[in-house]
Amino acid sequence: MTKQTFQAVLWDMDGTLVDTEPYWLKSEQAFAERHNADWEFGDVEQFIGYSLYDTADILRKKFNLQDYTDQQIIDELTVGVVEQIEDKLPFRPGALELLLELRQKQIPTALVTMSMSEMAKSVVSRIPFKAFDVVLGGDQVQFGKPHPEPYITAAEKLGFDPAECIALEDSKTGLTSAETAGTVAIGIPHIAKIPTQPGRILIDSLSGVDVAKLQEIYEANRG
């Protein structure tokens, strides 16, 4: 039997590559306070992994901000995150090491994020090597996660079928997107729990995960 080998790795950004989920939580909390709204962690947690357009629509309705457009809300939230990134950009454990090995072995990579593409490019520019062949932001797809479009699109831009790709995600929303797209999707839970279900792949951390480990997971779950 011919050995099945993965051809590319598709990365989520917030919470998977970089530890920016707390930045989004803080920005959303500050947004709520500016608009004199009650906001608890349970409210914030539900948005992890979702399109910013979905988040903006919910916030506008929840806070009765009828004079705000989705883009105005997104811009306000993003500014709060970017300010924190400029102060410090923390990478998730093991993420940068795995990404560097992938690049050294010339394995194609894509960043698949629901953050705006300009913010994604800002994060990528801070990585000390050429990290991604494709950067796909939430403003570059019609349907955001959990819809499969982001991962299908990223795989296509790399020239592969999603089934030939591994996807790395930290949220239920993002993992559902990657799973539905047909990738071998690996969940690395961070702030929000990811429920277990038959066939779902969950690991504790990317720390110590290398290309050989990814290949092992791919072979065990392909087909």
pLDDT in tens, 162-201: 999 999 999 999 999 999 999 999 999 998 889 999 999 9
Tens of pLDDT, residues 107-129: 999 999 999 998 899 899 999 99
Shortest CA distance to 112 belongs to which of 133, 95, 128, 135? 135
Tens of pLDDT, residues 47-99: 676 788 888 888 888 888 888 898 999 999 988 888 888 888 899 999 999 99
Give dist(CA 97, CA 99) in Å, integer. Answer: 5
According to DSSP, the residues that pair with 119 across neighbouring strands are none
The burial of 109, by beta-carbon neighbours within 10 Å (0-12 exposed, 13-18 middle, 19 or more buried), is given as: buried
Averaged pLDDT, 195-212: 96
